[in-house]
Chain A
Amino acid sequence: MNQIALNEGLSQISLFFIYGAMAVYTLAFLGFASHLARLSSEKAAKSGSASKLERVGISLMILAVILHGTGVMLRGIAASRVPWANMYEFSITGSLVVVMIFLFALIIKDLRLLATFVSGFTLLILGAATSIFYVEVKSLMPALQSYWLVIHVMVAVLATAFFNIAAALSITYLFKTAKWVETSKVKFVGTLRRILALFPSIEKLERMAYRFNIIGFILWSFTLIAGAIWAERAWHRYWGWDTKEVWTFIIWTIYAGYLHANATRGWSGKRSAWLSLVGFLAILFNFTIVNLYFKGLHVYSGL
């Protein structure tokens, strides 16, 4: 009789690391937010104290990602398998990947102003993961015992992370091009306007969002194909319009539309930015509502 060993103590330690990471992400977020606030209030675009705040923020983020990564790794060791077999694990691993991609992208491109978004979003995801999605460490159900779990889900996580950063860029783009932001006399909007002025130009935002989205699209296409291969092994058919398959298809179609929009006159710019956002909302919907409330074969939330 096969048995496995789950290390409950280690999974508790993993949780402590995740909590620790959340605390440090909070500090980083506060740092970035006050950096933005200071930049927007000071006459001089960049002053010493402001960029110091940003540097502190980035350092905190690196510390947080180390804690976060340790937490994810310990969870995997505690379960003696990959740490992405239920919603809690998918959330902690997915958000880790987002932060890691962001930090790597920083080396190539100056995306520092997005740090407020990324740290805030990661904090939200981890908050939801630990409070709503948390489950004790469990073994893999037989349907998940396949190397496709490693490939299919890892690539899905990566795709989601790229789409996530693209969506952040698109949101910034939409705020920057919004008429009400440009003309409103409300004081808060004025501050927002000054903050937005610090971000790259709208052309640059659009192009960067496109770059992240095309990588996301390629990875998502791969996720879809890998999922179909796995489904053929596990469920005897490569495609059966299971609710999760439906949403994977919907998301793929939306981003395919996004790519076409970028080559269609009248659809690039604002409309394609909206599509990028709608695509990411569909991903969030797929991950939360479809996982928790829709009936289907992908019932792995563990809740």
Chain B
Amino acid sequence: MAISNSLSNSSDQPIKSPELSLGGWGRWIWKQLTSMRTALLLLLMLAVAAVPGSVFPQRSADPNGVAQYFDKNPALAKALDAVQLFDVYTSVWFSAIYILLFVSLIGCVLPRTAVHAKALQSPPVPTPKLLTRMPAHLKVSAKNLSTDEFLASAKTLLKKQGYRVAADENSVSAERGYLRETGNLVFHLSLIGVLIAVGIGGGLSFSGQRVIVEGETFVNNLAGYDSFSPGTFFTEEKLIPFSVSLDKFEVDFDISNPTNIGTPLDFRAYVSSRTQVEGESKSAVIRVNQPLELPGANLYLTGNGYAPQITIRDKAGNITYSGAIPFLPQSSDYTSLGVIKVPDAEKQFGIIAFFYPTVDELTTGALTSIYPAPYDPLLTMNVYVGDLGLDDGLPKNVYALDTAEMTQVAGGKSGVKGLRLTVGQTVDLPDGLGTATFDGLKRFASLDVSYNPGGLWVLIFALLSLAGVTTSLMVPRRRVWVRKVDGGFEVAALARGDDLSLDKVVAEIAAALNPAKATPSESNG
């Protein structure tokens, strides 16, 4: 299509001086870009371009998925990464499409706004000569009509129906549905608003994650976060200094309905927050759909699990490690995996531990959890001796233990059985490493702390655009003409856009204007 257009255009405009031709090209490109067909093609391209983002893991939504992809298929992952398939929605090609789309939109909507503003101020177009050519037309015979009276009554009727009306000596011209175009323009302009609000809001936003065990306190500064992703315009001074303590975390699991046993019914994080260091603390409950709104950020509950309290002592009975360690749930029964690193012992060692809230032994001897609440909790430990890799100062994942350079001394094929502990129990560690005690059980909550000042504006513009598009699709826009002719009158109508009821409209107007019973003598439409 573009080709045929370019051919016809170039035949209209023979090549002149280089400057003019350059301008001509510019105008031609602009005209193409702002045409409806281009907008349509860009929309379809945008739809297609969005697909790979649902097929490949995205860094923004699923960073772990991307890491796994790199582990499994390093060569392929590298190739995909080169064309930004792990960052589709910030990629050059995706951005190019939507930027072009918005340029096209602006180029189309601004001139239309001007045209519409002018149309709003000018009277309806004069009545065309041949009303019979209109898609809906009706001729009514009526005798002894006074032209002036007839036109006056037509004017009143159409005005009452919401038409804008103009009259000449023998006809009335009327138009209604200006809101249709207004809605259309509001829709498109609001989409620009959405885009700007998304952009600026995203730049000013930040979000961070923090795992917090019962009894712990989170303080809102960068050191308080486990991970943090700031927007482009973020500075640390923007963090409002509040603190939040997790007093208690509760979970309800279904225990009464046979088909639903173990399904979580409710998660509740009981917190107390302080917005000033000396200030009073306020209690609140955070639930999954019920974030805590604090000045400068909202706190969301995004995950939870068990944090067994463990104490490690050396041979002499000195404590080398003590704390409640968040264990990551591996399945819906809350079988959980945790890592303990003991760097300050005589010999460095690490423990990979499993936690079973309600333990059961399978016939194979493997352990499993049969219910997610801690009715019969058990902790098992595999112990590894060797360099923990913490001394070279590189940040390490606290939830993983790299055992490649370590020697297993308990569990697995080490010849020593894995250690098993119930709450309150103390066991000896192999290799003279000392003892481990399972002191008690706490829970942890994963909190997301998030701030995005653009959200409200995005919503306002989105709702405006929804109102706009609804108006533009629902309000019929049409022109109606009524003309007094010899021996009767004519009514005709023309719809702009889709209007199924045009004939009905014409018939109703004709009937209302007819002093006698309507006797249409001729109609088409």
Chain B neighbourhood of A264, CB < 8 A: 36-37, 40
Q: Does B455 contact A (CB under 8 A)?
A: yes
Q: Which of B198, B256, B300 contacts A235 (CB 8 A)?
A: B300
A146, B440: Cα distance in complex, Å: 34
Query: CB distance B257 to A242 under 8 Å?
Result: no
Q: Does B243 contact A (CB under 8 A)?
A: no
Query: CB distance B257 to A260 under 8 Å?
Result: no
Instruction: Give the Cβ gap from A299 to chain B, nearest Cβ, in Å.
Output: 12
Q: Does B366 contact A (CB under 8 A)?
A: no
A241, B372: Cα distance in complex, Å: 31
A138, B264: Cα distance in complex, Å: 11
Instruction: Give the Cβ gap from B329 to chain A, nearest Cβ, in Å.
Output: 14
Q: Which of B50, B256, B259, B289 contacts A246 (CB 8 A)?
A: B50
A1, B88: Cα distance in complex, Å: 44
Q: Does A222 contact B (CB under 8 A)?
A: yes
A137 and B259 in contact (CB under 8 A), knowing A4-B254, A257-B40?
A: yes
Q: Does B32 contact A (CB under 8 A)?
A: no
Query: CB distance A238 to B458 under 8 Å?
Result: yes
A207, B476: Cα distance in complex, Å: 14
Q: Does B47 contact A (CB under 8 A)?
A: yes
Query: CB distance A3 to B470 under 8 Å?
Result: no
Query: CB distance A236 to B43 under 8 Å?
Result: no
A interface size (C-beta, 8 A): 62
A1 and B40 in contact (CB under 8 A), knowing A233-B291, A236-B448, A246-B50?
A: no
Q: Does B258 contact A (CB under 8 A)?
A: yes
Q: Does B275 contact A (CB under 8 A)?
A: no
Interface residues of A in 256-303 (CB under 8 A from B): 256-257, 259-264, 266-267, 282, 290, 294-296
Taken residue by residue from 46 to 63, chain B's Cβ proximity to chain A (1 for < 8 Å, 0 otherwise) reads as 110011011101101110
Q: Does A51 contact B (CB under 8 A)?
A: no
Count chain A CB atoms within 10 A of each CB in B44, B252, B463, B465 and give the residue with the most: B44
A246 and chain B: residue at smallest CB distance: B54
Q: Does B298 contact A (CB under 8 A)?
A: yes
A136 and B259 in contact (CB under 8 A), knowing A3-B265, A221-B469, A242-B61?
A: yes
Interface residues of B in 261-305 (CB under 8 A from A): 263-267, 287-291, 298, 300, 302
A224 and chain B: residue at smallest CB distance: B462
Taken residue by residue from 132 to 164, chain A's Cβ proximity to chain B (1 for < 8 Å, 0 otherwise) reads as 000011110111011010000000000000000
Count chain A CB atoms within 10 A of each CB in B47, B58, B198 and give the residue with the most: B47
Query: CB distance B252 to A2 under 8 Å?
Result: yes
Chain A neighbourhood of B302, CB < 8 A: 235-236
A136, B289: Cα distance in complex, Å: 25
B interface size (C-beta, 8 A): 62
Q: Which of B50, B54, B88, B266 contacts A2 (CB 8 A)?
A: B266
Query: CB distance A237 to B450 under 8 Å?
Result: yes
Query: CB distance B473 to A217 under 8 Å?
Result: yes
Interface residues of A in 178-200 (CB under 8 A from B): none
Query: CB distance A249 to B50 under 8 Å?
Result: yes
Interface residues of B in 73-98 (CB under 8 A from A): 88-89
Q: Does A243 contact B (CB under 8 A)?
A: yes
Instruction: Give the Cβ gap from A8 to chain B, nearest Cβ, in Å.
Output: 6
A253 and chain B: residue at smallest CB distance: B47
Query: CB distance B500 to A225 under 8 Å?
Result: no
Instruction: Give the Cβ gap from A172 to chain B, nearest Cβ, in Å.
Output: 18
Chain A neighbourhood of B465, CB < 8 A: 221
A142, B46: Cα distance in complex, Å: 34
Q: Does A46 contact B (CB under 8 A)?
A: no
Taken residue by residue from 20 to 47, chain B's Cβ proximity to chain A (1 for < 8 Å, 0 otherwise) reads as 0000000000000000110110011011
Pick the 5 closest A-B CB pairs, nearest first: A136-B259, A253-B47, A257-B43, A236-B300, A142-B288
Q: Can you list 22 A-B pairs with a CB-CB distance of less than 8 A? A: A3-B256, A138-B263, A139-B254, A139-B265, A143-B289, A145-B266, A145-B288, A211-B498, A228-B462, A233-B289, A236-B302, A240-B60, A241-B89, A246-B54, A262-B498, A263-B497, A264-B40, A267-B40, A290-B54, A294-B55, A295-B62, A296-B61
Residues in chain A within 8 A of chain B (CB atoms):
1-6, 8, 136-139, 141-143, 145-146, 148, 207, 210-211, 214, 217-218, 221-222, 225, 228-230, 232-243, 246-247, 249-250, 253-254, 256-257, 259-264, 266-267, 282, 290, 294-296
